[in-house]
Amino acid sequence: MQRKEFIAALEKRLAKLPQRCADTFVLGEMEAEASEKIQELLGITSVNFRVLLHRGRMQLRLCLEQNWLKL
């Protein structure tokens, strides 16, 4: 049950990210695509890829810390 709730919370937060940031996160972290392939698919540079991935991670981390990992 907790896994389903976690996935639902993650998907809800991903939907609030800017589209390119969400796409980068999903392709890079969830689907484990190679960074070069993601850059080609999204038409972004390697620097932009790293920035988008970092922003996605940080925004998701913050949301999950505030809403999911409350003790």
User: Whole domain around residue 29: which residue ranges?
Assistant: 2-67
User: How many other C-beta atoms can be found within 10 angstroms of the C-beta atom of residue 62?
Assistant: 11
Three-class DSSP category at 43: coil
Calculate the alpha carbon distances from 34 to 25, 49, 59 in Å.
12, 11, 22
Residue 1: predicted pLDDT: 55
Residue that is written with structure tokens 């991935």 in the block: 53
Q: CATH number of the domain at 36, please.
A: 1.10.10.10
pLDDT in tens, 9-32: 888 889 999 999 999 999 999 999
Tally the domains of the chain.
1
Judge if pTM exceeds 0.85.
no
